[in-house]
Amino acid sequence: MTGKRIDGKAFAANVRGQVAEHVARLKAEHGITPGLAVVLVGEDPASQVYVRNKGKQTVEVGMNSVEHRLDASTSEAELLALIERLNADPAINGILVQLPLPGHLNSDLVINTIDPAKDVDGFHISNVGLLGTGQKSMVPCTPLGCLMLLRDHFGSLSGRSAVVLGRSNIVGKPMFNLLLRDSCTVTVAHSRTRDIEAVCRQADIVVAAVGRPEMVTGDWLKPGAVVIDVGINRVPAPELGEGRHKIVGDCEFESCAKVAGAITPVPGGVGPMTIACLLANTLTACCRENGLPEPEGLTA
């Protein structure tokens, strides 16, 4: 490997440490403890792990954690009623509904029922609009984590050319807006982009969020490019034993690392930043709610 390996796990631990310091100060000086409510509908195994980790890390930074685990058959009306109760609960500063939801539930309706001020995922249409128009908003956790890693690496992102691979509402589009706001020249490439390799090869920054295992290879990169791999793909790993699986990103790590100036690994890159930024967003929401200054360096 020639390029620097960006250690998202260590960076996330540092973000959580900063959040914990702010939370301790909020308690000592204002008697306030931020509260995060996480709602899980159904038994998706990966979602169960993420929700458990969110609850554990919330408590570790000194915040209050509330978990609502609902049966997969929960009706839309029941879920919306729970969200309305959480919206009205003064002890709750952040509300997150774990995605994906079971197919009979309308995710857009559910997300848009959350009070935008408590929408720590930044998925509510109001927050999407605020981010898109460069105004103060809640910022989606994974793109915020990518931005923090990039700012840490480069200092200023101004004038850099960035390619975002993928146009999802959760990563691709908010990432585009955040990079643009930091004065990058941004291209969003996707499954219909012509000669996507050539588009990628002109970028100083590549953010890969397509959900296709190891799609990006070293020959797609400009030498020295910084690669942020958002992909989390579970693939068969017969080399580890029969029936075993492993997690890989959207970038083929070995070949990309030979060309890149720096690259995030999977696991241990962007993933841990997602939960760290969720905690940062909950702290930000709590500060805004109480008219207190926002924590520096923990928001976009």
Ligand X SMILES: Nc1nc2c(c(=O)[nH]1)N[C@@H](CN(C=O)c1ccc(C(=O)N[C@@H](CCC(=O)O)C(=O)O)cc1)CN2
Binding site residue list for NADP(+): 166-168, 232
Least distance to ligand X from the beta carbon of 232, Å?
5
How far, in Å, CA of 52 to CA of 45, rounded?
Answer: 11
Annotated catalytic residue, options 18, 98, 173, 182: 98
Chain residues binding ligand X by CB under 6 A are 50, 96-99, 121, 141-142, 232, 247, 266-268, 271-272, 274-275
173 as an active site residue: the answer is no
Which residues are CB-neighbours of 197 under 8 A, at least 6 positions away?
219, 220
Q: Residue 188: enclosing H or E segment and its boundaries? A: strand 185-189
Q: Which is nearer to ligand X, 26 or 141 (CB)?
A: 141
Least distance to ligand X from the beta carbon of 272, Å?
5
Q: Which is nearer to ligand X, 177 or 274 (CB)?
A: 274
Q: Which residue is nearest to ligand X, using beta carbons?
A: 271
How far, in Å, CA of 199 to CA of 213, rounded?
Answer: 19
98 as an active site residue: the answer is yes
Q: Which is nearer to ligand X, 62 or 268 (CB)?
A: 268
Q: Which is nearer to ligand X, 47 or 185 (CB)?
A: 47
How many other C-beta atoms can be found within 10 angstroms of the C-beta atom of residue 158?
10
119 as an active site residue: the answer is no
* Burial (CB count <10 Å: 0-12, 13-18, 19+), residue 7: middle
Residue type, 224: G
Least distance to ligand X from the beta carbon of 94, Å?
11
Annotated catalytic residue, options 57, 118, 121, 204: 121
Picking from 131, 243, 111, the residue whose alpha carbon sits closest to that of residue 178 is 131
Binding-site annotation: residue ranges: 166-168, 232
Look at residue 46 and give its three-state secondary structure: helix
Q: What is the DSSP string of 5-45?
A: EP-HHHHHHHHHHHHHHHHHHHHHHH----EEEEEEES--H
Question: Do 165 and 210 touch, CB atoms closer than 8 A?
Answer: yes
Annotated catalytic residue, options 18, 54, 182, 204: 54
Least distance to ligand X from the beta carbon of 57, Å?
10
Least distance to ligand X from the beta carbon of 99, Å?
4
Torsion angle of C-alpha atoms 39, 41, 47, 52, degrees rounded to 10: 50
How far, in Å, CA of 223 to CA of 197, rounded?
Answer: 14
Q: Which is nearer to ligand X, 98 or 113 (CB)?
A: 98
Least distance to ligand X from the beta carbon of 268, Å?
5
How many other C-beta atoms can be found within 10 angstroms of the C-beta atom of residue 195?
9
Q: Which is nearer to ligand X, 22 or 124 (CB)?
A: 124
Beta strand pairing call for 35-41 and 64-70: parallel
Catalytic positions are: 54, 98, 121
